[in-house]
Amino acid sequence: MENLLRAKDLWSLVEEGYTKPVEGIEVTAAQKRNLEEFKTKDHQVKHYLFQAIDRVVFEKILNCKISKNIWDSMKKKFGGNEKVKRSLLQTLRRDFEVLEMKSEENIDDYFGRVMTVSNKMSSNGEDMLDSKIVEKILRTLINKFTYMVVVIEESKDIGKMMIDELQSSLSVHEKKFKKISHEEGDQALNVRGRGRGSYRGRGRGRGRSFNKATSKCYNLDISNMNVQLGTMEHILQRSKKRMKLFS
């Protein structure tokens, strides 16, 4: 809200307000024009402030005549004292420390979670440098980004790296990773499809697929088994003959 009012060149009314002339005192034409300008700008400020609050708060500040009084009332209600701010900041620091990327989470979503907590910390007086957030994110990414983290740490100055720059680099890597995974999945499906024959026989077994390569291997295995069985049978017969000679 402060940024909006500063951009509209209205912040001075919130900080300083304006003084209405005392009744009965005559004012000049120039003073009247200035007073009307202040009133118009003050109505604009109140309009922006009313849009940012709910009905419950609106009822409590309805009697405030100028925007400065409304702002001071809101600061007391939402700003809190220093003790409350310190307690809230400790909670936010703990939340920031335990943040980690989830396995099913994408880069943009994780950056969003980190920035939500860091913005709250900043609004409560914590100095949140880009380097601190960048280091936090690099430490807490899931394993599939390990290679990219090493590349960034080796090729970039982490202390000078901007948050947007890091997010852009990781998003590009994530898209490439998804593309490769998708292509590998398609290749696996194609290999499986090629391994299935399209022959369909008649009679018994009709409708079953026929694979020539598998059939050849199967026949070779049976032939080898027959050879091995024949050899074993030959050895047994020779052993029986020897036993008869010695008996």
| Structural contact between residues 10 and 41, judged by C-beta atoms closer than 8 angstroms | yes
Q: Is 244 exposed, middle or buried (0-12, 13-18, 19+ CB in 10 A)?
A: exposed
Rounded to 10°, the helix 107-123/82-97 angle is 160
Distances (CA, A) of 233 to 44, 225, 228, 236: 106, 12, 9, 5
pLDDT of residue 81: 64
pLDDT of residue 205: 46
pLDDT of residue 155: 92
pLDDT of residue 181: 63
Q: How far apart are CA 154 and CA 246, in angstroms?
A: 82
Task: Return the domain boundaries, the chain.
Answer: 2-79, 82-179
pLDDT of residue 233: 55
Q: How far apart are CA 145 and CA 29, in angstroms?
A: 69
pLDDT of residue 191: 57
Radius of gyration of the chain (CA): 40
Q: How far apart are CA 129 and CA 135, in angstroms?
A: 10
pLDDT of residue 182: 62
Contacts of 4 (CB under 8 A, 6+ apart): 48
**Taking the model in full, what pTM does it have?**
0.50
pLDDT of residue 18: 75
Distances (CA, A) of 97 to 113, 209, 214: 12, 57, 57
Provide the greatest CA pair distance for the chain. Answer: 149
Q: How far apart are CA 61 and CA 70, in angstroms?
A: 6
| Structural contact between residues 206 and 200, judged by C-beta atoms closer than 8 angstroms | yes
Element at 48 (helix H, strand E): helix 29-51
Q: How distant is the alpha carbon of residue 240 from its chain centre?
A: 78
Q: Please give the chain's pLDDT, 247 residues, in tens.
A: 777 888 888 888 888 877 776 777 777 888 888 888 888 888 888 888 877 777 767 776 777 778 888 888 777 766 666 777 888 899 999 999 999 999 999 999 999 999 999 999 998 889 999 999 999 999 999 999 999 999 999 999 999 999 999 999 999 988 887 776 665 555 655 655 555 554 444 444 444 444 544 444 444 444 444 545 455 555 455 545 544 444 4
pLDDT of residue 164: 95
Q: How far apart are CA 194 and CA 11, in angstroms?
A: 72
| Structural contact between residues 112 and 171, judged by C-beta atoms closer than 8 angstroms | no
